[in-house]
């Protein structure tokens, strides 16, 4: 027993979620106690609760009940809610007229803005929670009586972020796959690498960057939620409950991120460092947001396969201008504007060390591209000509391209997403392995490849 304890002490303890979901979509109680609602000149006190509800979309709701007769004084619409036992308040929207519940009058509603609990002190660390993220095999941490490889560490720009799988994550994800919706799958911790204090605003700026980074990893939107800040003694001194977080319900999508496989910690950390460096520049910040937004929407097939193809091209043209004109100055804007979309994409791929050829595994697309069919010279031509047929009102192009088989169009979408994932990984300086969506091997691990520019 002493030996086991000695072994456990050699590793950092796993992070413990402050808020948990025992099953997908179960509400989380955030506060229960005395409430005060103000609407106009009317002020009412009573008992109630604040709850995070997941369905149909994540939102923070409240219930308020009191014995007093306030039915003529509170109306559906905007009001102000104060949590009396923790001295925090926010604008709310009353959604129901008072009804009698156990001889009390009860109303319900939702938050109109984040609820912030603050002592106006600087922070030593912030704990956050993630929904629907991948299970991964990372660095080792200790749990009650065993060691597990449950941690992803990101360190860059003077910040250190640890993200841990929750305990029994395999069971959690299996339940999530069965029921859909949302559940907390990971808990994280943000702190300064030098252990210095920081403001809540600084923390939120880094966590916004993390939102875009882990969304790129997952293939749909994930965001740090239920933020809890602590001082150097570990006391909770700040908390923020968002009602407007951009998070997606569980869905089966592919991404480049190697889940359920041993991560190359150094490569992932270098990727985050490159991401954060560009994120903090005026040249790249908006382009990163837009390119990842279009990637996520295309990956989710917003607008079906046709919409995905259009969104992919928008991302390529944005990244080509940002990288080749604004960042590296290889072309002037006037020079670059003279090129067709296909040429811009070829220059972008060439600069990133990516072949424009159609991979041999995309057999349906290769068959369509041969000289007897569409006579496409490479994947770039396949992607851009299909996109042009979708957005330009040319009957001949539509008849030639849009009546192709569905499997050919799926190949084009996968090809475009593969290009886009590799372009983004290259721009952010990634040099590790990735899960190729165009490899199509029988076993998932056989689709893991090293990025082509290494």
Q: Report how far residue 95's alpha carbon sits from residue 102's, in angstroms, rounded to the nearest whole number.
A: 20
Supply the pTM of this predicted model.
0.93
| Cβ neighbours for 400, distance < 8 A, ≥ 6 positions apart | 374, 389
Q: What is the per-residue pLDDT for 447? A: 87
174 phi and psi, to 5 degrees?
A: -60, -40
Report d(CA 98, CA 188) in Å as an integer. 40
Tell me the pLDDT tens digit for each residue of 111-121.
Answer: 999 999 988 89
Using pLDDT thresholds of 50, 70 and 90, give the confidence band for residue 393.
Answer: low
Which of 129, 119, 104 minimizes the C-alpha distance to 30? 129
- pLDDT of residue 269 exceeding 60, the answer is yes
- Which tokens go with 332? 């002037």
Which residue did the predictor score with more confidence, 264 or 351? 351
pLDDT at 244 over 70: no
Provide the pLDDT confidence category of residue 358 given band limits of 50, 70 and 90: very high
pLDDT digits (tens, 9 = 90+) for 39-86: 988 888 889 999 999 999 999 999 998 766 554 567 889 999 999 999
**303, pLDDT greater than 90:** no
Report whether pLDDT(1) > 60. no
Of the listed ranges 93-102, 204-213, 323-332, 342-351, the one predicted with least confidence: 93-102
- What's the mean pLDDT in 175-196? 96
Tell me what percent of the residues of the chain surpass a pLDDT of 70. 92
Query: For residue 317, what pLDDT band results from cuts at 50, 70 and 90?
Result: very high
**Token representation of residue 421:** 């994932």
Q: What is the pLDDT of residue 70?
A: 54
Instruction: Check pLDDT > 90 for residue 327.
Output: yes
- Res. 331 pLDDT band, cuts 50 70 90: very high
Among 85-94, 291-300, 312-321, the range scoring the smallest mean pLDDT is: 85-94
For residues 296 and 288, what is the distance between their CA atoms, to the nearest angstrom?
12
Q: How far is CA 393 from CA 216, 235, 300, 399, in A?
A: 33, 63, 26, 11
Q: Which residues contact 86 (CB under 8 A, 6 or more apart)?
A: 31, 33, 117
**Domains of the chain (ranges, CATH numbers):** 28-118 (2.40.10), 119-252 (no CATH), 281-450 (no CATH)
**What's the confidence (pLDDT) of residue 58?**
93
Average pLDDT over residues 175-186: 95
For 272-293, write each residue's pLDDT tens digit. 999 999 999 999 999 999 999 9
Q: How many CB atoms lie within 10 A of CB 229?
A: 26
* Residue 75 confidence (pLDDT): 84
Question: What pLDDT score does 273 carry?
Answer: 97
Distance CA 163, CA 15 (A): 8
- Over residues 124-160, the pLDDT tens digits come to 999 999 999 999 888 899 998 889 889 999 999 999 9
140: Cα within 13 Å, side-chain hemisphere: 9
């Amino acid at each position: 027993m002493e030996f086991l304890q000695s072994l456990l002490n050699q590793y950092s303890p796993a992070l413990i979620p402050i808020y948990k979901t025992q099953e997908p979509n179960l509400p989380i109680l955030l506060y229960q106690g005395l409430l005060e609602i103000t609407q106009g000149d009317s002020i009412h006190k009573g008992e109630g609760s604040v709850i995070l509800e997941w369905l149909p979309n994540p939102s923070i709701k409240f219930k308020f009940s009191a014995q007093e007769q306030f039915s003529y004084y509170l109306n559906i619409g905007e009001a102000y809610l104060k949590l009396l036992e923790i001295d925090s308040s926010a604008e709310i929207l009353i959604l129901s007229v008072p009804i009698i519940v156990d001889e009390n009058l009860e109303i319900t509603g939702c938050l109109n803005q984040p609820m912030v609990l603050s002592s106006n002190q600087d922070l030593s660390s912030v704990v956050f929670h993630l929904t629907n993220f991948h299970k991964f095999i990372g660095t080792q941490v200790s749990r009650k009586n065993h060691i597990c490889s449950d941690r992803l560490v990101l360190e860059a720009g003077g910040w250190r972020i640890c993200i841990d799988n929750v305990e029994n994550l395999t069971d959690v994800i299996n339940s999530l796959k069965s029921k859909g919706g949302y559940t907390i799958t990971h808990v994280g911790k943000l702190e300064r690498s030098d252990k210095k204090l920081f403001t809540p605003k600084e923390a939120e700026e880094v966590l916004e960057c993390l939102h875009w980074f882990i969304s790129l990893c997952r293939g749909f939107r994930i965001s740090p939620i239920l933020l809890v800040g602590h001082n150097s003694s570990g006391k909770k001194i700040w908390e923020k409950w968002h009602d407007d977080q951009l998070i997606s319900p569980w869905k089966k999508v592919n991404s480049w991120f190697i889940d359920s496989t041993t991560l190359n910690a150094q490569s992932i950390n270098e990727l985050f460092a490159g991401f954060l460096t560009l994120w903090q520049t005026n040249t790249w910040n908006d382009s990163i947001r837009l390119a990842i937004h279009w990637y996520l929407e295309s990956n989710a097939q917003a607008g079906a396969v046709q919409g995905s193809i259009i969104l992919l091209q928008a991302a390529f043209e944005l990244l080509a201008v940002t990288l080749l004109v604004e960042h590296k100055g290889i072309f002037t804007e006037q020079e670059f504007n003279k090129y067709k979309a296909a040429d811009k994409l070829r220059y972008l791929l060439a600069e990133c060390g990516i072949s424009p050829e159609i991979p041999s595994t995309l057999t349906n697309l290769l068959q369509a591209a041969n000289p007897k069919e569409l006579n496409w010279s490479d994947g770039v031509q396949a992607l851009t000509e299909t996109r042009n047929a979708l957005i330009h009102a040319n009957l001949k192009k539509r008849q030639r391209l849009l009546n192709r088989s569905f499997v050919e169009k799926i190949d084009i979408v996968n090809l475009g997403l593969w290009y886009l994932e590799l372009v983004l990984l290259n721009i952010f300086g990634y040099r590790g392995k990735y899960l190729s969506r165009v490899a199509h091997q029988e076993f998932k691990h056989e689709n893991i490849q090293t990025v082509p520019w290494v």
